[in-house]
Amino acid sequence: MALEHHLWFRCLVPLVLLGLLCYASWAFCYALCYREVYHKFGQKSIGVGLMFGQLVLVVVLIGTWSQLVAIGPGRQPKVLPFRILPENVNSDGEEELSGKSPQHPPMTIVPPSLYQCDPQGYPLWCTACQTIKGNRTHHSSTLGYCVPRFDHYCVWIGTVVGRKNYRLFMQFTMYAGWFCIFVIASIASFLRRMIASRKDIPRVDPNILVLLALCCVFMLMVGPLFLSHCYYMAKNRTSLEVIATKRRSKATKNWLCYLNPVDGLRYVFEFKALDTQDYWKKRGVLANIKEFLGPQYWFWLVPLGTNIKTHDPNSFEYEVILGPYQEVASDQLRELLHSRIANGDFAATFEAYGDKDK
């Protein structure tokens, strides 16, 4: 068992981080705001104001963090195999259409118009969860289930970031950045007076110096992380897709299976690893960001809940099962696939049995 699968190890780093946050909060409120600003410089309202501002940020950070872990990355509902081959042909050679009688719930479902597949056009299967992996779904070995739009496992917060808690993750990094900026700016504005007011060594309370160093280090980590994720959202990519594209050699390929509405045939397309990260990109930066943060702008800044609505996956229709976890192909991608069909640029073609039921 890898180290990161052990609960104690997964809790270790987040606990250290929580400890550092508590220490930072204490050092800021007591050593800076109370002892220096409030007591020594006599600027009582400024001291109290800074303390209040910092405590609000700490409450927002811990609140967002708890929700990140409690809500989790989302769990893909079980998707039955796609009806690509005929099934339930009885001894007389007559087909029993599955799902028509309540005694025989269907074992397969009608395939969606577009799905990620292998070179033969078979969808990707998770043996651990016994389900078809929806587009962009990845099995998390840490959590033991399939996560829709899996992004990454965050060591710091101790959970997986996926479709359901992605917005909270972005908000957490943003408010962590604001926390660091707030503390650094407050210390910087009083640093000169603190040095001038002390005759003995050290000229500044060591707690304040440690706090300043901690916030600078965290700002250097959180800042680039936040900006790179803004870029990924604008391009509609997940961290996993970016990493996979980088890691794979240029020879590694990926496949998409698409139902051509014109002739009713399925086409399998081969893609180079580099092309796969732009499968889901839409026209316009805002359209892409909305797919991650939700359509309501004011919720982009409010770290409350998730933008994934609960749904009832108890259905035999792909679109209903996946509900809000369904990934939508862009017009660009469809146009590209149609032009590839016209040019004969596809790996395979076949007639999927279930497409007749559409």
Residue positions annotated with a catalytic role? 154
Out of 128, 188, 216, 243, point to the residue binding Zn ion (CB under 5 A). Answer: 128
List the one residue out of 125, 129, 106 whose CA is nearest residue 116: 125
Cβ count near 208 (within 10 Å): 22
Q: How far is the CB of 125 from Zn ion (least distance, A)?
A: 9
Piece in contact with Zn ion (CB under 5 A), picked from 105-113, 125-133, 284-292, 310-318 = 125-133
Out of 46, 69, 126, 234, point to the residue binding Zn ion (CB under 5 A). Answer: 126
Nearer to Zn ion, 146 or 183 (CB): 146
Q: How far is the CB of 326 from Zn ion (least distance, A)?
A: 17
Piece in contact with Zn ion (CB under 5 A), picked from 67-75, 129-137, 195-203, 252-260 = 129-137
Two tokens, residue 146: 């399939």
Q: How far is the CB of 122 from Zn ion (least distance, A)?
A: 16
CA angle, residues 90, 93, 99, in degrees to nearest 5: 45
Nearer to Zn ion, 62 or 126 (CB): 126
| Cβ 124 vs Cβ 132: under 8 Å | yes
Query: Is residue 139 a contact point for Zn ion (CB under 5 A)?
Result: yes
Greatest Cα pair distance in the chain: 101
Piece in contact with Zn ion (CB under 5 A), picked from 9-17, 131-139, 236-244, 346-354 = 131-139
List the one residue out of 191, 131, 140, 188 whose CA is nearest residue 162: 140
Residue ranges in 69-88 that form contacts with Zn ion under rule CB under 5 A:
none
Nearer to Zn ion, 137 or 307 (CB): 137
Nearer to Zn ion, 75 or 167 (CB): 75
Q: How far is the CB of 73 from Zn ion (least distance, A)?
A: 12
Q: How far is the CB of 332 from Zn ion (least distance, A)?
A: 29
Q: What is the rounded CA–CA span in Å between residue 80 and residue 132?
A: 6
Question: What HEC string does 206-256 produce?
Answer: HHHHHHHHHHHHHHHHHHHHHHHHHHHHHHCCCHHHHHHHHHCCCCCEEEE
In what helix (H) or strand (E) does residue 322 lie, and over which residues does it extend?
helix 318-322
Q: What is the rounded CA–CA span in Å between residue 319 and residue 328?
A: 10
Piece in contact with Zn ion (CB under 5 A), picked from 78-86, 120-128, 214-222, 281-289 = 120-128
Residue with tokens 């407050």: 186
CA angle, residues 323, 325, 330, in degrees to nearest 5: 100
Nearer to Zn ion, 145 or 166 (CB): 145
Task: Tell me the backbone φ, ψ of residue 100, rounded to 5 degrees.
Answer: -75, -35
Nearer to Zn ion, 69 or 126 (CB): 126
Nearer to Zn ion, 126 or 285 (CB): 126
Q: How far is the CB of 335 from Zn ion (least distance, A)?
A: 32
Number of residues that bind Zn ion (CB under 5 A): 5
Q: What is the rounded CA–CA span in Å between residue 211 and residue 218?
A: 11
Query: Is residue 125 a contact point for Zn ion (CB under 5 A)?
Result: no
Piece in contact with Zn ion (CB under 5 A), picked from 5-13, 123-131, 236-244, 349-357 = 123-131
Q: What is the rounded CA–CA span in Å between residue 66 and residue 173?
A: 14
Out of 33, 57, 117, 129, point to the residue binding Zn ion (CB under 5 A). Answer: 129
Q: How far is the CB of 150 from Zn ion (least distance, A)?
A: 10
| Cβ 256 vs Cβ 117: under 8 Å | yes
Out of 68, 146, 170, 257, point to the residue binding Zn ion (CB under 5 A). Answer: 146
Residues of this chain that interact with Zn ion (CB under 5 A) are 126, 128-129, 139, 146
